[in-house]
Homo-oligomer: A and B are copies of this chain.
Amino acid sequence: MRCSVVRVPSASPSDVAALRQQVENGGIDPHEVVAVIGKTEGNGCVNDFTRGYAVRVLSDFFAGLAGEAASRISYVMSGGTEGILSPHLTVVSRSEGTGAAKPQSNGKALAIGVAKTPAFLPEQIGRLAQVEQVADAVNRAIREAGIEDKADVHFVQIKCPLLTADDILDAYSRGEAVVTEDTYKSMGYSRGASALGVAVALDEVDRASLEEADICHNWEKYSGVASTSAGSELNYCEVIVFGNSSHAEGPLFIAHDVMKDAIDADALRRLIEQHSDAEIVQVLAKAEADPTGYVRDRRHTMLNDSDINHTRHARAVVGGVLASVCGDPMIYVSGGAEHQGPAGGGPVAVIFRH
C-alpha cells in the first residue's frame, strides 16, 4: 500500500475548483481516493448544513470522475472554521505499492484503513451500543490498513451522528428514551461514545470496566489518538485509521502527541522538532473547552456563554495556537474532545513527508 495526502482550499462548501485542478494536474487520482476530510465554514453544531452540502457536492464530483469506484470514499466533514482556520479538504488516497523506500528508519510508512459501523437508532447514540460498534469498526479498519502493532495507530478520525428534534420524537414514538433531549449536547455524547470505542479497540480503556455512566462523565478514560466529529448528515459512523505500517511504502508517515490543554503549543512543537528533517503535510487536532471551567488555573467563560457554543470558542483557540506554531491556518482542528485526550486537552497528529 502507498498512501497520499493532498490538501486543497475551498472557497465555499460547494467549491471544487482547487480540487478539480489537483485532479487535472495529476496530484489526485479519483480512482484511488478513499477519504476526504474537510473543514467547512458552518457553525459546527446541530444546524450546520455546510457538512451535508459539501458531501453532496463531493459525492457528485467524484462519481462523475470515478463512477462506481467513488462509492467507497469516506467523507468526514467537520464544521466550524472559527478564527483563522481556513476551509479546506484533506484528500486521502491509497494505491498498490511498488516496493519503494520507506520514510522512517523503522521501515514503516503511512497506512490508512477505513470502515463503517451499521446505522444507529436514536436511542443507541451516546451509549455503549455505539462504543462497541465503533470499536469493532476501528479493528476492521486497522486490519484493512495492514497495521500490525496498535502502537502504530496515530490518529483515528470518526464522523458520527447526532440527535435532531425529529430523532428524539422518533425514539419516543417507539417508547425509547434518548441519552439527552438537548440536540447540541447529543453531539458531545456521540463524540464521546465514539472516542471510547477507539480507546477500547486500542486497549487504552478496558471494555470490561467501562460503564454507560462513564460516557461524558469519567474523563479519566480517553483515547490519545481519537478524533471524533458529529453531524446530522449520517446515522452511522465513518472510521478512518491513520498509522504506520511495514506493509506500506512511500515518503509519508504520521506521528502524534497529546495537548494537555488548549494552549499547549509545546505538543506540536515537540512533534516538529522530533522530525525536523521532514516536511509537514497536514496537522490534525481536537479542541475543547476545559470542562472544569478553568485553563491553567484561570477561569474561562466558554461554558457559560449562551451566545456562542463552547466548541466554537475552542476551535478558534486551538486553531490559532497550532497555526502560530506551524505557520499555516489551513489545518484540521475539530471541536469537542470528549474522551479524546485528557479533559481540556486533545490529540494532535502530523502527517510528515520525508
Contacts and interface: CB of A to CB of B under 8 A. Distances in A.
Interface stretch (A65-73, A82-90, A190-198): A82-90
A312 to B, nearest CB: 7
B320 A48 contact: no
> Which DSSP category, helix, strand, loop or mixed, fits chain A's interface?
loop
A47 B41 contact: yes
Interface stretch (A9-17, A133-141, A242-250): A9-17
A328 interface: yes
Interface stretch (A151-159, A181-189, A200-208, A271-279): A181-189
B263 A301 contact: no
Interface string A285-301: 00000011101101111
A92 to B, nearest CB: 20
A52 B45 CA distance: 19
B49 A84 contact: no
Given A53-B53, A317-B84, A324 B327 contact: no
A327 B324 CA distance: 14
A46 interface: yes
A82 B313 contact: yes
A86 B289 CA distance: 13
A43 interface: yes
Given A12-B49, A317-B84, A183 B307 contact: no
* Among all A-B residue pairs, the 9 with the closest Cβ atoms: A45-B306, A317-B320, A316-B316, A165-B293, A86-B298, A83-B317, A265-B324, A263-B324, A53-B53
